[in-house]
Structure 1
Amino acid sequence: MTTTPGVDLDALLDRSRAIITTLQQPNGAYPASPTFSAYRGYCWLRDGAFIADGASAAGEVASASAFFDWCAMVVTRHGSRIDEIVTAAAAGTPLPDDRMLPARFNFDGSLGDEDWWDFQLDGYGTWLWAAAQHASRHSVDLSRWSDAAALTVDYLLSSWQRPCFDWWEEHSEEVHVSTLGCVAAGLSGAADAGLVSGERATRARAGAERVRARIEESGVVGGHLVKWFGSRDVDASLSALIAPLGVIDARSELGAMTLRAVSADLEADGGVHRFRADTFYGGGQWPLLSCFLGLAYAASGDSESARRLLDWAASTASEDGTLPEQVAERLLSPQHQQEWIDRWGPVANPLLWSHAMVLRLAAELSAGRGEVAA
């Protein structure tokens, strides 16, 4: 597989596997970034699920399984809170946002003690989806995660229609299409893989269909997916609904139009921005988002575009083989860069999610050529 001149992709893939597996905690938690001030000591369900999926696709079976063990521990630890949330929602008196489950946890599964933009539903869908993918890929026994999966399915079914923070921990007042995609993928994945069974599996499948219908009813403008209900803009996270989540068929008109819209609005020479109004660290380009877009292109049959995006993501590696959260090229809001540096220090590097997505896209392209990822 070719890549940008001067970048040894095989070495980067080896380095990415090593970073993910050596930084993983003994109990399975993945640190988002080991040194970045705002992320240090925390594991996100969303980021972690995509990290585990990348590790699983690269053959790191034990690492991915350990992460799902951690997810199951966290969810069951907070099972009484989930029961409270589900009961309140069924009674028509939903709990306020600050009583909902958070996006991130301390490594030991406890709640963080710092203020954060916490109420996000996407991670609870992504861990179910990623566990189902992992089990299918490696014939892993799912039974040890079934109790936590049941709690998670009940939580998502009770709460998926609520506004919450998006992937980027912004705009808690909106219903975000990428969040709903994660929910739909998690519900259907849990049911189809046997993470949940019987009546709960039936409800999960029906719930996933309701979520998909809501996306197509309220989350499409101009023939493509949009950032949130009522918006006309795109967000790079929408690529994930096409692949790897598979909520939108890559070869459908909606999938094709969404790919075109994300590329036209947010991609420049292989680097992908989050959204046009981004000001975080000046609004740079994110390697992990290039890989999501690349996975979507690969699913559509356009392997050339997918390789171009992988090449760009690989080119952002530092001399020691670490991948950042974003790079300061083609900043959308350069006037805002310094305020974030002053607040939290330099951009997160390494970011495990970036490494995982390079692994995931490389594995997808290698599989498409009948090869094994290096």
Structure 2
Amino acid sequence: MTQATLDLGVIGNGSFGALIDDRARVVWSCLPAFDGDPAFCALLSPRDHDAGDFEIELEDFERSEQAYLTNTAILRTVLYDRHGGAVEIIDFAPRWRQNDRFYRPVSIMRKVSPLSGNPRICVRLRPLADWGARLPEVTWGSNHIRYLLPGFTLRLTTDAPVRFVREEIPFVLSHPMHLLLSADESLTRPLALFMHEAQERTTHYWREWVRYLSIPLEWQEAVIRSAITLKLCQYEDSGAIIAAMTSSIPEAPHTPRNWDYRYCWLRDAAFVVRALNRLGATRSMEEFLRYIFNIATHDGSLQPLYGIDFAEKLEEHEVESLRGYREMGPVRRGNLAWVQKQHDIYGSVVLASTQLFFDLRLADPGDADTFRKLEPLGEHAFALHDEPDSGLWEFRGRADVHTYTGAMCWAACDRLAKIAGHVGLQDRDAYWRGRADTIRERVLAESWNSELNHFTDTFGGRRLDASLLLLSDIGFVDADDPRFVATVEAIGRDLKRGDGLFRYIAPDDFGSPETSFTICTFWYIDALAAIGRHDEAREMFERILARRNPLGLLSEDLSFEDGEAWGNFPQTYSHVGLIIAAMRLSRSWQDAS
């Protein structure tokens, strides 16, 4: 078996997701939802079983090619053997509008077709249970196989010989074959016809969704792929947006920095919402606000992250049954960051909500009652703007008063003032404007270091971190403010290495960071453009685009040395950064005429 990489494709439909390698092998999928048991966990090296995948193995395999069908989340892989044979595999999760709702079952659909020669294949469907610890019980019938997982039963319905699949017997593929892996429900229609219609309807859904995106003139393919990827990371039952689909892909080789990202960080989700809003895909914002209103306490207090089902406690445990990505453990389930104090999240949520009040396209825009639901978040922001927290980088061993936290708390109050004025509540406009001004004055006084001539990461501090690049984006300072320009230049001097950016360089609980944090690189590119270094920003952006995997996807981190992808995948943060930078840098559509 070849060494695992993050040259993976992703399919999904708003209910679950699956990662597929360049040989069309499903190597990661948690079922029946993002936070479920990883029935397909080969990506993290099961300790006791050579399983955890769904493979179409081509005998005498030589090479493969892979691409998405244009403007869809449907993946096409072609496998070639050494004798002129070729096999096409189409993978997708069905999604379309039906009866005034979206049809999005937990289902992987695979169509396998011969293209040339006499290809000989073997179908290996080997899910595991309890985080790779055991093989599930298996039953079968005339045209199906059932896998009994904890709390969920998978059924494979197929027109391939069931015994060949069950016993992994190789056979010559002489005609198209269909594999429908879904919940344990009987299919009452002809399988080939059903899957053909499902592919057509899913193709139509994605192309219509893309059609209404407000994309920039340049880098359209990259922006569209990033937008689809962000859409795939929203769990529509609740509106939660996960940070990534995986757990425990390390940020660098052999580092203990490997975490479970299959949950909803309010900050990350808010970034996703703002990016999709800029593209005109506002439904995600409305669904995310539904999620927020379900988790907000009566006094508006929030923790940094929650489960996709609103769970508050996400206890962190090490999983012994999985060795880890390239056997670089530990593998973690749960994330202890839920107990941390990260006060910037109040600003994140209010920023993500603001467009709800100003976008005339929305069928149900925000009103005074909606505004009042957000006010408790502003009260927390004001009370906590100068209190120590773990910051957006989630330091586990220290707490400080972070500049970014203070600026985001200002953003909460600033936007509440603007919303209040918009909905005609002038007294609340004045109230929140006063609070915003108080915070801004304090943050500017405490975070500017005149000796070093740049903003610092903490009140009274001396260090830099990449979050300072966002001070202009959120409106805290103007892009042409000499203090911001000087800070961008200092960050380029101290945090930039080649074409990547550290989020910070000071050692933390786990030592010194080793890889570039991809969204920080995009923040830097965006800031360069904002301060007028447009050509430099474009050149750097083009080089980072070249670091995407062959399908246009990004993980959390990139190696400075060879550009290899590390960290959880696909990372919503990274794709947000790509979209925002592309929209900033692109030439106007008028230039195309």
**In 1, distance between residues paired with 2:487 and 2:341?**
27
Which residue pairs with 2:313 in the alignment?
A: 112
Mapped to 2, the partners of 1:252 and 1:145 lie a distance apart of 34
Deviation at 1:50, TM superposition (A): 0.8
Which position in structure 2 is the counterpart of 1:227? 457
Alpha-carbon distance in structure 2 between the residues aligned to 1:187 and 1:14: 33
Gaps of 5+ in 1: 1-7, 83-100, 332-345
More helix by share: 1
Partner of 2:522: 291
Paired residue for 2:494? 265
Contact 2:285 2:352 in 1 (8 A): no
Query: Residues 108-147 of structure 1 correspond to what in structure 2 (within 5 A)?
Result: 108-114=309-315, 115-116=336-337, 118-133=340-355, 135-136=357-358, 140=362, 141-143=365-367, 145-147=370-372
Q: How far is the alpha carbon of 1:14 from its aligned partner?
A: 1.6
What's 1:251 paired with? Answer: 480
The structure that has the greater radius of gyration is: 2
Q: Kindly indicate whether the alpha-carbon contact (under 8 Å) linking 1:286 and 1:327 is maintained by their aligned counterparts in 2.
A: yes
Q: Deviations over 1:40-73 (max 9, x none)?
A: 4311111111111111112212123322332233
Aligned residue type for 1:109: F
C-alpha distance in 1 between matches for 2:535 and 2:286: 32
Matched with 1:32 is 243
CA contact (8 A) 1:43 1:104 kept: yes
Q: Is the CA contact 2:247–2:262 (under 8 Å) kept in the aligned structure 1? A: no
For the 8 Å contact 1:181–1:241, the answer to whether it is kept is yes
Matched AA of 1:319? P
Q: For CA contacts below 8 A with separation 6 or more, give which structure has more relative contact order.
A: 1
Counterpart contact for 2:515–2:560, Cα < 8 Å: yes
Task: Tell whether 2:466 aligns with 1:241.
Answer: no
TM-score by length of 1: 0.80
| 2:417 pairs with 1:203 | no
1:162–1:269: structure 2 CA closer, same or farther, 3 Å change rule? same
1:67 equivalenced with 2:288 (yes/no): yes
Calculate the aligned-residue CA RMSD, in Å. Answer: 2.6
How far off is 1:348 after superposition?
0.8
1:80 shift after superposition: 4.2
CA displacement 1:263-309 (0-9 Å, x = unmatched): 11111233111111256684311221122122222222332233234
- Secondary structure of the structure 1 residue equivalent to 2:306: strand
- Separation (CA, whole Å) in 1 of partners of 2:428 and 2:581: 33
Once the two structures are superposed, the pairs formed by residues 1-374 of structure 1 within 5 Å of their partners are: 9-26=219-236, 27-37=238-248, 38-75=259-296, 78-80=297-299, 82=301, 101-114=302-315, 115-116=336-337, 118-133=340-355, 135-136=357-358, 140=362, 141-143=365-367, 145-170=370-395, 172-194=398-420, 197-221=425-449, 222-243=452-473, 245-278=474-507, 282-330=513-561, 347-366=567-586, 369-370=588-589
Tell me which amino acid in the other structure corresponds to 1:130.
A
User: Per the alignment, in what secondary structure is the counterpart of residue 242 of structure 1?
Assistant: coil
**Change in 2 beyond 3 A, CA 1:322/1:225:** same
Deviations 1:165-184 (A, max 9, x none): 11101164210001111111
Q: Secondary structure at 1:263's aligned position in 2?
A: helix
Question: Cα gap change, 1:291/1:40 in structure 2, threshold over 3 Å: closer, same or farther?
Answer: closer
Q: Partner residue of 1:343?
A: none
> CA separation in 2, counterparts of 1:81 and 1:14?
35
What number of residue pairs does the alignment pair up? 330
Pick closer, same or farther for the CA change 1:315–1:180 going to 2, 3 Å: farther
Counterpart AA for 2:281: E
CA offset digits 1:212-251 (Å, max 9, x no partner): 11122110112211011232111001001122x1211110
User: For each residue in 1:6-29, what CA deviation from the matched residue of structure 2 results, as whole angstroms up to 9, or x when unmatched?
Assistant: xx9432222111111122111221
Structure 2: which amino acid aligns with 1:152? Answer: L
Q: Distance in 2 between matches of 1:47 and 1:320?
A: 23
Letter paired with 1:225: F
Compared CA separation, residues 39 and 371, structure 1 to 2 (3 A): farther
What is the distance in 1 between the residues matched to 2:274 and 2:391? 20
Identity across aligned pairs (percent)? 24
Q: 1:181 to 1:313 in 2, by over 3 A?
A: farther
In 2: Cα distance, 1:253 partner to 1:131 partner: 30
**SS of corresponding position for 1:350:** coil
Partner AA of 2:243 in structure 1 = A
d(CA) in 2 for partners of 1:273 and 1:330? 13
Are the structure 2 counterparts of residues 81 and 181 from structure 1 closer, same or farther at C-alpha, using a change threshold of 3 Å?
A: closer
Secondary structure of 2:471's counterpart equals: helix
Provide the rounded CA distance (Å) in 2 between the counterparts of 1:70 and 1:371.
39
- Equivalent residues of 2:371, 2:419 under 8 A apart: no
